[in-house]
């Protein structure tokens, strides 16, 4: 049985966290007089510090996702959440993490910022994890294993059996990045936190929920792990405007559901039409709101699209993604323009 306490950095274990004014008194009763935080008393909507524990946002997420509030931590985008996980578990110049390229670039950037070695095991030809190789490469300083599922930029979800074998076989923290889970046919691993004490699941409001601009990332984990991350997070890491906007959007979750199902219909229509473009040789299956394709010459096609006013992502330098382009699914008008332009440039 894995012991989370043994994985935490000694400095973090010993840390006495900053205690903010709103930590020491959590009143929300309207008739209290607040003279404790050196705020400007004149009301303008944001003159007070925000709730450091974002309780209203968490209670809505808790209902929507069916996870207890004590197992939720929120951050300034999932990028902040990932950084907190590094700082909690990875000792600079000693520990290492495992990533599975081609994948989201932030894991290795954060490792580099934090002076953590990166071990990587490339996904196989179907973009699935090589489970035995991953478990073999792990050593006693391997603290984090990042699984992005659905994976960016490939678009596929990993097989549940492989993920389960990795969680059971790895002696560190498994971070499953579910930025695209709301588009996926698979169930979130957050529903299985009770089975796996070393599991951390991250999600975001940046993709399906349509709020990339407010920067709100979500972490689901055991209460033990959440309490460690709470000790090191900046006290007011999610600002008041972000909390208010998140609350108003989460209260209309049917809107998000409708948009997600529209995007998925658009994605499938887009995939159908991409098949008619002669320089596209492969369309990878997608469980997300983007599609990866292989073309004859990715950089040439990328530049041609830019010239016609369409910005996509050239992924050709990623391992296993030679000559691959990634298209985000847009509105039906945008997707039509993309297809028309692809057909146009295919003749030049
Ligand atoms: C877009 C994306 C995120 C989102 O990060 P935020 O900081 O919450 O906007 C996280 N992980 C992956 C794999 C992504 O593609």
Residue at which a domain ends, from 227, 251, 275:
251
Closest C-alpha to ligand 1, atom 10: 179
- The whole-number pLDDT of residue 348 equals 73
The DSSP secondary-structure symbol of 182 reads G
Assign 327 to helix, strand or coil: strand
Please work out whether the CB of residue 209 comes within 6 Å of at least one atom of ligand 1.
no
Low-confidence spans in the chain with pLDDT less than 70: 27-29
Burial class (CB in 10 A: 0-12, 13-18, 19+), 172: buried
CATH of the domain at 181: 3.40.640.10
| Cis peptide leading into residue 106 (ω within 30°) | no
| Pair (204, 273) in one structural domain | no
Range of 287's domain?
A: 254-346
Q: What is the b/e burial string over 118-136, where b = at least 16 CB atoms within 10 angstroms of the residue's CB?
A: ebbbbbeeebbbebeebbe
Tens of pLDDT, residues 101-140: 999 999 999 999 999 999 999 999 999 999 999 999 999 9
- The whole-number pLDDT of residue 269 equals 98
Continuous H helices in 30-99: 55-65, 77-89
- The whole-number pLDDT of residue 70 equals 97
| Pair (81, 94) in one structural domain | yes
Please work out whether the CB of residue 75 comes within 6 Å of at least one atom of ligand 1.
no
- The whole-number pLDDT of residue 24 equals 82
- The whole-number pLDDT of residue 333 equals 98
Give 119's strand partners: 98
| Cis peptide leading into residue 9 (ω within 30°) | no
| Pair (258, 140) in one structural domain | no
Give 247's strand partners: none
Please work out whether the CB of residue 152 comes within 6 Å of at least one atom of ligand 1.
yes
Please work out whether the CB of residue 79 comes within 6 Å of at least one atom of ligand 1.
yes
Tell me how many domains the chain contains.
2
Which two tokens mark 253?
Answer: 């979750």
Residue at which a domain ends, from 251, 273, 308:
251
- The whole-number pLDDT of residue 18 equals 81
């Amino acid at each position: 049985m894995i012991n989370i306490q043994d994985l935490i950095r000694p400095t973090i274990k010993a840390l006495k966290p900053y205690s903010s004014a709103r930590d020491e008194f959590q009143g929300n009763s309207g008739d209290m007089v607040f003279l404790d935080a050196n705020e400007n008393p004149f009301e303008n909507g944001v003159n007070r510090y925000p709730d450091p524990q974002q309780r209203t946002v968490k209670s809505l997420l808790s209902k929507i996702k069916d996870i207890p509030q004590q197992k939720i931590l929120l951050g300034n985008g999932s990028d902040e959440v990932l950084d907190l996980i590094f700082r909690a578990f990875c000792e600079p110049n000693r520990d290492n993490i495992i990533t599975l390229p081609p994948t989201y670039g932030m894991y290795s950037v954060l490792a580099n910022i934090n002076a953590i070695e990166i071990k990587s095991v490339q996904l196989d030809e179907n973009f699935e994890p090589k489970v035995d190789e991953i478990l073999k490469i792990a050593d006693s300083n391997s603290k984090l294993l990042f699984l992005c599922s659905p994976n960016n930029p490939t678009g596929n979800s990993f097989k549940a059996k492989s993920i389960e074998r990795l969680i059971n076989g790895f002696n560190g923290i498994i971070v499953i990045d579910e930025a695209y889970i709301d588009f996926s046919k698979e169930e979130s691993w957050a529903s299985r936190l009770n089975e796996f004490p070393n599991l951390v699941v991250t999600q975001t409001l940046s993709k399906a929920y349509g709020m990339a601009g407010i920067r709100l990332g979500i972490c689901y984990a055991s209460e033990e792990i959440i309490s460690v991350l709470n000790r090191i997070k900046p006290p007011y890491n999610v600002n008041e405007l972000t909390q208010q906007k998140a609350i108003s959007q989460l209260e209309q979750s049917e809107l998000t559901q409708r948009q997600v199902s529209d995007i998925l219909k658009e994605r499938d229509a887009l995939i159908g039409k991409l098949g008619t473009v002669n320089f596209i040789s492969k369309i990878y299956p997608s469980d997300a709101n983007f599609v990866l394709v292989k073309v004859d010459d990715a950089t040439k096609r990328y530049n041609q699209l830019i010239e016609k006013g369409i910005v996509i992502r050239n992924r050709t330098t990623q391992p296993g993604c030679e000559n691959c382009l990634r298209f985000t699914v847009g509105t039906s008008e945008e997707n039509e323009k993309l297809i028309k332009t692809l057909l146009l440039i295919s003749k030049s």
